[in-house]
Structure formats: structure tokens, C-alpha cells
Structure 1
């Protein structure tokens, strides 16, 4: 689950991470009021940031023609005008796709005088099965670009989960960022706060880009998280009611929301061949083999290792809600799962939905003969696939691609 930037900063500040002062709003009048308070406290510049679950907001374009989802303002009146131009409008960025995202909230915050932009992230290193803190002096740039062009500028520190991030590790990373003198301790404190946010909130990733060295009100350098992105581990959300309440359904695809109600892992794609598979690895392989034989997958859909008849029926309904779907491939390997349970679910789903599209089913594994018998005796038009390759070729041929 993703959360908005303003929500990420709320979490970070709870763990002692310095963030620029500001607040979230949903009207232009509220934006102006927040700006007036910030200017009254001595801020010289205020930033208005569109709150959507996508990057590239500053370089984005609204469908109204207004350029940029992030704007710097010198007066409260300017904040009002920029907020009015953004709210209720659809912002298109490199990450949203051409459909864009509706902007219904804005973050209005102080825009400090930035002296240097840095990068910081905490995530799970799957190679070592340990937390990983990653920093770079190349802040404000996509980390993928840094990794490709100047990988030596990315410094990594593996954390022992039994003891957590140690102060010496935080100071080591601060030094790697070129931070010296009186700024070392505040930087180490911030680094440990970001790690604690990741650990205690069960986050999948916390990314601060840019992490900035700024000139404080007293003229001294300080370090703050100017931007923040936090992705939560869905499997741990039950432990964090406060984080669950941050979920913004308006930012999620309706079919993905519906799938989550039945504990189905569904992601909509642009193709015409729908997939219903058990297991994420098999689902990825199924999409690959459809592509290999000239088709285009319409979705990623993993029903899990122990899907019920009700889940299979729900999965079919979700698939058929996509108007681009022209055929369906069911690819099931029954390890834990009983193939006959899936077959029964398929038959029930086809009858309940009145399916008219080509349906290819490949079953293998636990109780497969009973499953195939159930499909055969159903009297329904179901194409049987003898192998994954055979099933993929048959569904591609059936949809005419």
C-alpha cells in the first residue's frame, strides 16, 4: 500500500525526522491560509505540491493545460491561484500514464533554501535477507539513473535486524554523504529516525529524495527530508490501524480494490488475454509465455495457494469487468491446492457470469484427474491445455492474436 507524501512526512516526524513545516489541504482557501501562517513565521518561499501516488509531479502537465504539479510561490495570493489551478484537475506524469490522476489534495509547505541535495532509502535486501540503508550524494535524481551512470556514488550499509541500526553506522553513512562537523550528529539522528520509521511501521520501502542540507533560520546548516515516499507491506497492515486509515482508495484502480476484498493479487495491464493463476512466479511465467506466442496479457492475477470456489468466481467477475479482455487462460498447478476445487469454481463462475469469451484451462498436480473430469462433464465450452505452452498457444489463437 502506498501513502501520500504528506502522510509519509507525518510518519517520519513521529520518529524524529526533520521535515519542512506545512499542512495538507483540499481547497484553495485552505491553501492560502496555510501559506499565510508560514509567511508570518518568516518563511520566504512556499511550495504547493500535488498529492498523488506518482512521481514526476513537478514536470507533469494537467489536462487543463496548466504546467507542473509542484509550484514555488512568494505570496499567499500566488499560492491561492496555483492551488485553484491544480485542485480538481487531472495531472499526467511519466508514472501515471496518459490517463493521469485527479488531484484532490495539496501539500503546502515551507520551501527552504537548499544548499545540497542527497538521497536516502531503506528497504529489504533480498540477497542478504536483511535491512539495507542506501545513500548517495546524487539527490534529486532517479536512483535508477544514478545506478546506471555512476554506481560508485551509491553507498550501502546492511543492518543486523537483531540490534537495529547502530549510531556508528549512521555516522558512517553521514560521512559517506560528505557531511562534516556540527552537522554529523543531526544527520545521524535523521538517518536512525528514517530507519526506525521503516522498521516500526513495517514499511516495504522508505525513500527520501531529496534529503537536503539547508540553511536554517539562524543561518546554520541543518538537514531535512524535503520529499518522502513510503510504501507499506500489505501483509503487516493488520498491525497498524493508523496506517490502514491512510489508504486512499481514489488512488487505486477500482478492479484492484475489488480484488483486495477477496484477498486476490490483481494488477490490470493493457492486453487482451486475461490470466487466472495460482502463485506469483507461475503468474509471471504465464504472462511471459502469452507474450512469447504473440499475445498480450490483460492482467496479473494470483489467486494464491489455497483459493476457494468463491475466490475463483470473484476472480472471473473481476476479469470480465475489463472491457479489453477477449480471452481467458486459467493456469493452475495444484500443490497445496486441489485442482478439483478450482475446476468446480471455474464451472460455477462460467455459469454465473454467462461467459461467452474463449476459455482455456490448464490443470496439473493435486487431484488433477477429478478436476479435468469436472470440466469435461460440465457441458461448457472449455478448451483444455495439455501443457503451459499448449494452453498459451491455444488462447492466443482463440483471440486472434
Structure 2
């Protein structure tokens, strides 16, 4: 039954138009368009200009309070009940400072217009996220894209640009990553060659990226922006955003983030974009006078990435005196961190001069080879004989 529900949800998400979707909601739902927020700063964006009832108390403290509007939402909610939820992942602060990459990463995030997005400190709510995900829909109408969702059983409609601003991305960010190829000379093959010595494939590994800052940014993208099941890989959209960071191009990942979020419902990865749902809720003002259950700030709900994670992925190692090294499996070079000379915006090349190691020679003798050797030895010595049994006495 769960398998059939997942298939129905995937089919529903594949539909590009949700024109009939809005008619399924009750007449008392509220629809608000925040298109007027485009030219205001983030501080001003925290309070929507649309007047809202100040005395209304919104409550979401149990899953039974989530209103389900149709079969799709019921099936999605049933799947989400079986999922694990958490706050947004982040790097361990001491570890990041120890690498010497924190400031370089901040510079890259500022260059791409993500400085306000990257500081994710909001607490996450499992219930609020469940309601948001089951009601999330994207509608394309000509040149305009709108995002539909519900919070506290209130319906909201926000233009894609304003949704991007609500998440913390700069208002001048381009919204379509495909424009990188059309207007900024992005080419997947040449870009991968510029940051790696490995051939391009559908599963580009983060460990193949040379520059330490780009490596950490790629890992952060796989953890926070597009949280997916295998954080060792760098997806095609993530390659585009690494390019934008390196080239100082303001580009919002809002489109690909929404796509990833919709896939989370039937996915296997923990749902840890809960903090961003809280950020959206605060942006539109629904947390005022609200009673909502947030997840605790404990290790069980907040995963922090440190040196051990990178050591397991063969990307780093610890040296004498608590020193740390950036590793390149299969190559003859390691980089001791911090290494200011490899700063993202100061290097002439994003690849390192390295030679591949020669494969070590190993014995290929296996059980069959050893068995054959014993047989040859017995053939030379002769068949083994057993001593006759000793006579017994009555």
C-alpha cells in the first residue's frame, strides 16, 4: 500500500500545472500575494504589508490538527508520519575555524547573494513542515511562477521571486540556473574539468574536486540546499551553483530547492529543511501569537558535520599535534590546512598539480590457488597413508 502511495505522489508531482488544484480548497482559506516585497530589504520583509488579524491564535501541537484537503495530501501525510525530521545540518564551528576555510566560504556565499540564507539558526517544527510539504505546489503561468502552500490551515500564494527573498537570497539573484549557460558561459563539461581531473559523469564525486573551499561548499550544498541520500555526490544543479560562486554571479537555488522538497515526501533521507519552513512562516507573519511545537536542540535532531565525517569519506586526515590535512585519494599530494594560498579568489587555477599514485602490487593468491599448490605438493610426495589400527585386546 505504501508503495502505491509513493507512486501516486510521484505522478502527482510530475504535473507541471496545478490550475485545478486551488479549487479543491475551502472558501474560508486565505490567499495572500506578496509581490510588493520585491524592492525592500530583508529587515523590512519580516513584516508583511497585508494586514492580518492580530488576536487570532494559531495552534499546531499535534498531527491531528493538520487539515487534509484531498487524497494526495492524505497519502503524503501518511508517508511523512514515517519519516525522520531534524534541524538543518551545519558544520561544527570549531572544526570549520580550524580548517581556515570559514571566511573564504563566507566570501563565496556573499558573492552569490546567499549571505542571509546561509545563517540558518531557526528552530524546526516537524508538524509545521509536514503541513507545508503536503500542500506545497508550484504553478507556472507564462513568465510568472507562483508557490502555493498552507500554514496553520491558511492558504498562501507567493511569487517565486518573493519566496526566494523569504528564504534569504538576494533580491537581484537570477531565479533560473539555466541562465548561467545562456548568459554566463556555463558548460558542465568544461567546468568539471576546471575543478577536477576526473571525467564528467552522472555521479560526480565531491572528493574529485581539488580546491579546498569548493570542496567544502559542495559538501554544504549537499547537506543544506539539496539534502539528499548520498552527500558524497555533487549533483548537476550544485555544479551550477559552484560555478556561480566562483564567477561572482548572483543566482538563487529556489527552483531546485522546491523540487528537492517535493521529492522528500517519498524519499528516504531525513527531512531537515524544517528550519527553513520556520523562516518562511516568520516572513509571512504567521508565528505571531502562534502555539506550535518545535523540535528540541539536541544531537538527535541537529546533525553537525566535523572532521570524522570527512575522514570517513577519505577527504581529510588528522596529523601530529592535531593538524589536519586535505586528502586526494589516488594522488600523491596532501594539503595541510589552513592554506591561505589556495583561497578561492586568489588562485590562478582551481586544480592542483598532482600525479596519480601507481597501484600497489598485491598478492592475488586465493583459496583456489592455495588448494592447487597443496595438490601439486601431494603429487610430488605421493599419496598420504594412514597407520594401520592398533590391535585391540579382549
TM (norm. structure 1) is 0.25
Structure having the higher Rg: 2
Bigger relative contact order, structure 1 or 2 (CA pairs below 8 A, ≥6 apart): 2
Structure with greater proportional strand content: 1
